[in-house]
């Protein structure tokens, strides 16, 4: 965990002043020059300008050691003899500053770790404990030494701004850690370090559907993760991983496969790494707890803090010190990632809210991220507990392109992978059906895999064909991993054709019982019953068949000791829907439709069902009389095969009663619940009131379907500022050039920031003649920005990511934009707004805020 571990819990205000005493002050007679100077000439304990005696140097070292050990905690500190040894070793190392044959610029370029290594002097006959403390103390001291150099009036920083800012950021981060992290017992420190490594090991990789790939089914999270967006209300999109930067408690909604669990993984890994140069400030000093509810809730009982690790089956839970979780949460250092609220039974959700309420009240100050499918709980369900609500947006064109390219790079890399990625993206752009599938990360990953393998029908006509292909591929991968022999390669005498019926029976049982995990003993009973119906398998024991199924299907995994789950709940829903249809269990299917966990089962049943079966399901949803049922019926039409025209008309008529939406939440529900089918129902501006118009536009843009562009083009001349804002920031979800030509070119630009999400947007916007207000939503290099915007027109610039780091003249590059009058930066941006040219007003924007 680098120097962000327990050994670095020393505030900048404690170490900094002591370190500065080691050097002479700038001023008259101090030898200040306008070029780099030798480090040896700056030290205050030797030479003609000596101000620190040997005795005082030793005293200063003793004070550094005392402060450092106090911050580490009394149980971690060595005894008196060890303290004396540590002081002597530190004095010898500090003396080495006077021997360095380099200037201050070169020292800063080295970095604090390398400088500490060069200062370190061999120490004989000291304990390993003392040596460890010395290494950590030297790193902390050197961080402040370099910070001192970079802040000197004579320091030539023109070519080293990036290092200087990095050091300043590290010093700030160490100070933040010192404030956030209390003194702890050595036992807690050791376990916390071990636990952090465990979190990175367990959650630092993603499973991807990629058969027969040498990289294996799991790839590094860093290589595969694609940032998604959340959007609720008029404020525009916010990067999903930043939702906890503005709110301590967040309820995150997203459909099946939308990326909720992956986001929880990202937050957990970022917090566990405690990388001072990379971990977001809101996660520094914090400890993550990933709590998938399907695993931690046992017989309706929610876990107490001391049970968190044991309930998730963590392999390090046995080493957890007594009361450790309580101490972490009591200090407000926890990050509780409660994943899958929809995966607990509906009658248990009230108990879930009580559990959250109790923990929030007992342990304030911790971060919370609770995830759920959109319809799992009503709006404001956790409002009393102080939770903000946001929703994951479907992937737009840019996100899909990044996802596809990163998927191929993570799985195989190389020129062939790049070619396959571009081939798939061309197919997605040309086929509206594929484009709609690709807006979901899970389905986009399955598209990547099936396209790469050339497996099954291509392009798939919808979810049904895509999942059929995925099941075949995942089984093929499991075989390639050495699952065993057997008639079909599945092992245990289980033929390949028998896998799907066995999986269907298991999924059906899980849906019927409302569980996301199955115990081995229950699974064996279901397998035993299914084997009786499979010709040629009478001699296969249930245990053999089950083991072969787990190894050979590719979609089952052991979640805890003797407990199993589907690799993703959508596979369970697809397989269970087929079994439900075979059993004719329509009452169960429609009875579960009001449950968030039952919605995908319904969609899959409509996809897989015969026309008369699909008609029965759709009519049942409409006749139920609920908004959820009406939207689910409309969404199911999108992927259905043939549907009786009369049934289709009844579904459309019922859904039409829900438009136009009259709030941001209603717009989101309509788009998420009704899918692309809602585009046929949304009214144009001529039949929509001014109050509803922004919500209609929001619903249309949220679909991310290029089929929405003609409708949005009808709103391009709308006078409403809110409508124009929606149109100006959402174009990243659509084909860039088509949207720009048909919509953006005609939008009145008064008081509207036009949001650019990638360089291509800047180029296209310049082709439209530029705009006076531009919001840059990505980390854009200053030279590229100056080149691509119309500097003569640009008066208002909003840098959503803050000022770019690593520029020799700070914000001086803004001087190349002669018309610029207003600069908008995110509130709390690192580095502030230093160097902004005179005459440019700086405004600060909170997360999700609309700035004029």
Is residue 391 predicted with pLDDT exceeding 60? yes
Quote the tokens at residue 252.
């995150």
Tell me the average pLDDT across 646-668: 90
pLDDT at 184: 58
Confidence band (pLDDT; 50, 70, 90) for 2?
A: very low
Confidence band (pLDDT; 50, 70, 90) for 482?
A: very low
91-111 pLDDT, tens digit per residue, is 888 888 888 877 766 777 677
Cα–Cα distance between 815 and 819 in angstroms, integer? 9
**Closest by CA position to 270, among listed 199, 367, 322:** 199
Phi first, then psi: give them for residue 136, nearest 5 degrees. Answer: -65, -45
CB atoms within 10 A of CB 142: 25
pLDDT at 160: 46
Cα–Cα distance between 101 and 107 in angstroms, integer? 10
- Three-state DSSP class for residue 637: helix
CB atoms within 10 A of CB 818: 8
Tell me the average pLDDT across 369-396: 90
Contact 543, 569 (CB under 8 A): no
Cα–Cα distance between 621 and 577 in angstroms, integer? 16
426-451 pLDDT, tens digit per residue, is 999 888 778 888 888 888 988 888 88
Place of tokens 């089950």: 546
pLDDT at 158: 40
Cα–Cα distance between 752 and 729 in angstroms, integer? 9
Is residue 694 predicted with pLDDT exceeding 70? yes
pLDDT at 760: 92
* Bigger pLDDT: 639 vs 313: 313
Tell me the average pLDDT across 314-320: 93
**Closest by CA position to 450, among listed 211, 641, 205:** 211
Is residue 821 predicted with pLDDT exceeding 90? yes
Parallel, antiparallel, or unpaired: how do β-strands 205-207 and 218-220 relate?
antiparallel
* Bigger pLDDT: 721 vs 85: 721
* Bigger pLDDT: 483 vs 130: 130
Q: Mean pLDDT: which of 139-148, 453-462, 483-492 is highest?
A: 139-148
CA dihedral over 237, 426, 428, 694, signed as positive or negative: positive
Cα–Cα distance between 844 and 825 in angstroms, integer? 5
* Domains annotated on the chain, with CATH: 2-183 (no CATH), 193-393 (3.40.50.300), 394-457 (no CATH), 749-852 (3.40.50)
Is residue 327 predicted with pLDDT exceeding 90? yes
Is residue 33 predicted with pLDDT exceeding 50? no
Quote the tokens at residue 391.
């929703």
Cα–Cα distance between 785 and 788 in angstroms, integer? 5
Is residue 819 predicted with pLDDT exceeding 80? yes
Is residue 250 predicted with pLDDT exceeding 60? yes
pLDDT at 54: 81
pLDDT at 641: 79
Place of tokens 């805020």: 849
DSSP 38: B
**Closest by CA position to 288, among listed 339, 355, 353, 344:** 339
* Bigger pLDDT: 486 vs 50: 50
* Bigger pLDDT: 525 vs 554: 525
Cα–Cα distance between 531 and 582 in angstroms, integer? 17
Is residue 11 predicted with pLDDT exceeding 90? no
pLDDT at 834: 61
* Bigger pLDDT: 491 vs 368: 368
pLDDT at 34: 47
142-186 pLDDT, tens digit per residue, is 877 877 776 664 554 444 444 455 555 556 655 655 555 555 566
Cα–Cα distance between 783 and 769 in angstroms, integer? 19
Is residue 218 predicted with pLDDT exceeding 90? no
Cα–Cα distance between 16 and 592 in angstroms, integer? 62
**Closest by CA position to 67, among listed 26, 123, 7:** 7
Cα–Cα distance between 310 and 329 in angstroms, integer? 17
600-614 pLDDT, tens digit per residue, is 899 899 988 999 999
Is residue 554 predicted with pLDDT exceeding 90? no
Confidence band (pLDDT; 50, 70, 90) for 246?
A: confident
Cα–Cα distance between 741 and 817 in angstroms, integer? 26
pLDDT at 170: 57
Question: Mean pLDDT in the chain?
Answer: 82
pLDDT at 9: 46
| 561: Cα separation from own chain's centroid | 28
Is residue 214 predicted with pLDDT exceeding 80? no
Is residue 37 predicted with pLDDT exceeding 70? no
Tell me the average pLDDT across 394-422: 85
- Per the DSSP assignment, residues forming a β-bridge with 372 are 253
Cα–Cα distance between 256 and 842 in angstroms, integer? 41
Contact 249, 368 (CB under 8 A): yes
Confidence band (pLDDT; 50, 70, 90) for 750?
A: very high
Confidence band (pLDDT; 50, 70, 90) for 830?
A: low
Contacts of 210 (CB under 8 A, 6+ apart): 217, 411, 448, 449, 452, 477
Contact 795, 822 (CB under 8 A): yes
Phi first, then psi: give them for residue 557, nearest 5 degrees. Answer: -150, 155
Contact 309, 316 (CB under 8 A): yes
Quote the tokens at residue 787.
């080149």
Phi first, then psi: give them for residue 806, nearest 5 degrees. Answer: 85, 25
Contact 290, 301 (CB under 8 A): no
| 1: Cα separation from own chain's centroid | 20
Torsion angle (degrees, nearest 10) of CA 671, 677, 681, 686: 70
């Amino acid at each position: 965990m680098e120097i962000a571990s327990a050994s670095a819990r020393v505030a900048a205000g404690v170490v900094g002043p002591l370190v500065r005493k080691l050097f002479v002050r700038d001023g008259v007679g101090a030898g200040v020059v306008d070029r780099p100077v030798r480090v040896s000439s700056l030290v205050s304990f030797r030479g003609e300008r000596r101000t620190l005696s040997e005795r005082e140097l030793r005293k200063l070292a003793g004070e550094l050691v005392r402060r450092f050990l106090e911050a580490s905690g009394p149980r971690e500190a060595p005894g008196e003899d060890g303290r004396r040894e540590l002081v002597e070793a530190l004095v010898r190392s500090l003396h080495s500053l006077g021997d360095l044959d380099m200037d201050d610029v070169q020292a800063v370029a080295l970095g604090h770790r390398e400088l500490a290594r060069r200062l370190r002097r061999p120490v004989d006959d000291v304990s390993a404990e003392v040596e460890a403390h010395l290494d950590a103390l030297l790193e902390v001291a050197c961080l402040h030494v370099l910070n001192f150099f970079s802040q000197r009036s004579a320091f030539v920083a023109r070519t080293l701004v990036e290092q200087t800012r990095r050091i300043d950021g590290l010093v700030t981060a160490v100070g933040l850690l010192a404030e956030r992290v209390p003194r702890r017992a050595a036992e807690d420190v050791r376990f916390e370090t071990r636990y952090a490594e465990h979190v990175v090991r367990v959650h630092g990789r993603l499973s991807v559907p990629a058969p027969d790939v040498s990289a294996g089914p799991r790839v590094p999270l860093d290589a595969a993760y694609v940032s998604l967006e959340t959007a609720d209300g008029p404020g525009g999109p916010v990067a999903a991983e930043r939702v906890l930067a503005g709110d301590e408690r967040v309820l995150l909604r997203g459909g099946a496969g939308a990326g909720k669990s992956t986001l929880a993984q990202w937050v957990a890994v970022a917090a566990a790494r405690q990388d001072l140069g990379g971990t977001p400030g809101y996660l520094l000093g914090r400890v993550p707890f990933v709590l998938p509810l399907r695993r931690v809730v046992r017989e309706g009982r929610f876990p107490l803090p001391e049970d968190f690790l044991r309930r998730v089956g963590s392999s390090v839970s046995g080493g957890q010190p007594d009361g450790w979780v309580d101490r972490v949460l009591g200090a407000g250092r926890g990050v509780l990632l409660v994943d899958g609220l929809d995966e607990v039974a509906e009658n248990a959700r009230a108990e879930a809210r009580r559990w959250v309420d109790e923990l929030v009240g007992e342990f304030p100050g911790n971060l919370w991220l609770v995830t759920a499918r959109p319809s799992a709980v009503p709006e404001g369900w956790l409002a009393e507990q102080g939770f903000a609500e946001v929703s994951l947006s479907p992937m737009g064109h840019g996100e899909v392109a990044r996802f596809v390219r990163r998927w191929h790079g993570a799985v195989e890399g190389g020129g062939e992978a790049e070619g396959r990625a571009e081939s798939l993206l061309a197919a997605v752009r040309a086929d509206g059906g594929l484009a709609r599938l690709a807006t979901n990360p899970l389905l986009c990953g399955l598209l990547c895999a099936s396209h790469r393998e050339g497996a099954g029908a291509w392009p798939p006509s919808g979810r049904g064909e895509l999942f059929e292909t995925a099941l075949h591929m995942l089984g093929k991968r499991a075989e390639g991993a050495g699952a065993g022999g057997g008639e079909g390669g599945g092992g245990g005498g289980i033929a390949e054709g028998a896998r799907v019926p066995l999986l269907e029976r298991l999924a059906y049982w899980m849906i019927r019982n409302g569980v996301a995990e199955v115990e081995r003993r229950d699974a064996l009973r279901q397998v035993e019953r299914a084997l009786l119906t499979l010709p040629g398998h009478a001699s296969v024991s249930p245990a053999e068949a089950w083991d072969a199924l787990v190894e050979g299907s590719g979609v089952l995994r052991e979640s805890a000791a003797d407990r199993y789950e589907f690799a993703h709940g959508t596979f369970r829903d697809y397989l269970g829907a087929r079994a439900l249809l075979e059993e004719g269990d329509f009452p169960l299917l429609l009875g579960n439709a009001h449950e968030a966990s039952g919605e995908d089962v319904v969609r899959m049943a409509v996809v897989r069902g015969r026309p008369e079966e699909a008609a029965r399901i759709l009519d049942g949803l409409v006749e139920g009389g609920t908004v959820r049922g009406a939207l689910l019926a409309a969404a199911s039409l999108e992927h259905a095969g043939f549907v009786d025209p009369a049934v289709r008309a009844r579904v459309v008529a019922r859904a039409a009663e829900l438009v136009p939406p009259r709030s941001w939440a209603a717009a989101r529900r309509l788009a998420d619940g009704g899918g692309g089918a809602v585009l046929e129902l949304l009214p144009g501006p001529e039949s929509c009131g001014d109050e509803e118009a922004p919500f209609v536009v929001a619903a249309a843009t949220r679909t991310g379907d290029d089929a929405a562009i003609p409708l949005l083009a009808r709103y391009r001349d709308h006078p409403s500022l809110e409508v124009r804002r929606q149109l100006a920031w959402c174009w990243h979800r659509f084909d860039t050039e088509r949207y720009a030509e048909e919509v953006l070119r005609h939008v009145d630009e008064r008081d509207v920031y036009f949001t650019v999400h990638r360089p291509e947007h800047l180029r296209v916007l310049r082709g439209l003649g530029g705009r006076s207000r531009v919001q840059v939503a990505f980390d854009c290099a200053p030279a590229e920005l100056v080149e691509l915007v119309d500097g003569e027109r640009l008066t208002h610039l909003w840098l959503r990511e803050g000022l770019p780091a690593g520029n020799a003249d700070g914000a001086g590059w803004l001087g190349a934009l002669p018309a610029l009058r207003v600069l908008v930066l995110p509130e709390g941006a690192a580095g502030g707004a230093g160097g902004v040219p005179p005459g440019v007003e700086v405004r600060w924007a909170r997360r999700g805020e609309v700035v004029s």
